[in-house]
Amino acid sequence: MIFENVALREISEEHLQTLKLLRVAEEQQLEFKRELTLSRDAEKREFCKDLSAFANSVGGWLVFGVAENGSGYAADLVGFEPVPNEHDCEEQIRQIVASGVSPHLQGFDLKFVPLRNGRKALVIRVNNDGSLHQVRYNDNRFYKRVGNITMVMDPADIATFHRGPTARDRDDEIAEERHEFEADVKSGRFHGLRADDTGVLALAIIPRNPSAIPLFAKRQNLVTLFPPMYCSGWDMLYTQQSIVTFGVLPGKESPYSVTEVKGNGSVTAANSLILSPDRPYLQAHQRALYVPSIAYERELIISAHKYLAALSSLDAPPPWRVCVSLLNVRGYIMYVDPLSADPRRFQPLSKDEILAEPVTVSSQQQYASANDMAGSLRSAFDEVWRAFGYPRSLNFDDSGQWRGGY
């Protein structure tokens, strides 16, 4: 795919001219349109057919302003007359899609590209978001891409989609990716992070629809976009398939905090300092195994919020599975209030790990702020607290707001 390693917001006239120079042909993930006309219902219906067909297949790109030669090859970048107000035009397009495609199309974005001839091109990216989308505007049918053609889905296609073999396969892949990450952390294979005598706080953000994002084109920014969890200073390294940030304590050789970002959009992070038994507890001389009840949640909220915002800035589409894990925590207690008479305060954990059920983040609104992120992760925090004998996380008030501070 010609746009595979290019962020949507960075597509320029030079990228579009390449379509012509290389005689790129329409295919399952790419279609050309010469004009952008959306005034009549028939035009709106055709527009929604194209977008929903990409979404119901493997995603793709729709490029307006490209003339093709009748055989599906890009012949010229002609553009269309510039719209009076791009913002208003974008809002109109989004309203058409919202009204004409059901359910709501999650993985859909667009960019107007100015051309030297004074006209515009429009590039639309559509991702498969896991839902089966139907076209409205007096149509009510489902569409798919077969080669470079948009076709109506027959009942067998729809039944196969609803049985969800692809979705189940992806869920299995996500579970396996999480398992491999946690196994690497526990065995010391996660870029040298050692967890021999301490618990580890782990966070995995795995895309529901993996796709290559242009990480290596943005190396200068990634060191700040994906810092290690609970780390004030860090270094960075590049592997063949990922970018890693890590922090090492003075006098130590092994990192205590590592974050890895892979080309498919997965982010995995582990920290062995937050749950270290060397942290002060009750008395300065006393080593104790405990989960700091506010601090561990705060670091997960801050890191997840930051990583999801960074992925979004790289045009990696939702939804994501967010996985919270506490590893090597047998014998740990949940440190709440040292003056509390609650006997659960000293209840040691009898298992090695807590693997909270993945949380699905399907829209930007769920991580728009740290408070939104806290609300999205609440079910995972409740699961951690229940493992220590509490009914739920005590860091949320009765209205569901997190009250631990940031």
Chain-centroid distance of CA 283 in Å reads 42
Of 127-131, 203-207, 342-346, least confident by mean pLDDT is: 342-346
User: According to the model, what pLDDT value does residue 42 have?
Assistant: 93
Q: Quickly count: other Cβ atoms within 10 Å of residue 324's Cβ.
A: 24
**Cα 322 from Cα 152, distance rounded (Å):** 35
User: According to the model, what pLDDT value does residue 164 have?
Assistant: 52
Mean model confidence pLDDT for the chain: 86
Strands 354-355, 290-292: pairing kind: unpaired
Q: Write down all domains in the chain, each with its CATH number in brackets.
A: 8-163 (3.30.950.30), 166-387 (no CATH)
C-beta separation of 53 from 144 below 8 A: yes
Coil vs helix vs strand at 129: coil
Chain-centroid distance of CA 136 in Å reads 28
How does pLDDT run across 40-86, given as a tens digit for each residue? 999 999 999 999 999 999 888 999 999 988 778 899 999 998 877 88
User: According to the model, what pLDDT value does residue 2 have?
Assistant: 66
Task: Report residue 316 as tokens.
Answer: 């990696």
Q: Is 288 or 144 the better-scoring residue by pLDDT? A: 144
Percent of the chain with pLDDT over 70: 91
Please say whether the dihedral angle defined by the alpha carbons of residues 152, 154, 159 and 160, taken in this order, is positive or negative: negative
C-beta separation of 260 from 270 below 8 A: no
User: According to the model, what pLDDT value does residue 285 have?
Assistant: 42
pTM of the model: 0.63
pLDDT band at 105 (very low <50, low <70, confident <90, very high): confident
User: According to the model, what pLDDT value does residue 280 have?
Assistant: 46
User: According to the model, what pLDDT value does residue 284 have?
Assistant: 44
pLDDT band at 349 (very low <50, low <70, confident <90, very high): very high
- Tally the residues of the chain: 406
Residue 120, amino acid = K
Peptide bond connecting 103 to the previous residue in cis, omega within 30 degrees of 0? yes
How does pLDDT run across 192-215, given as a tens digit for each residue? 998 777 999 999 999 987 765 555
Coil vs helix vs strand at 267: strand
**Cα 131 from Cα 124, distance rounded (Å):** 19
User: According to the model, what pLDDT value does residue 220 have?
Assistant: 52
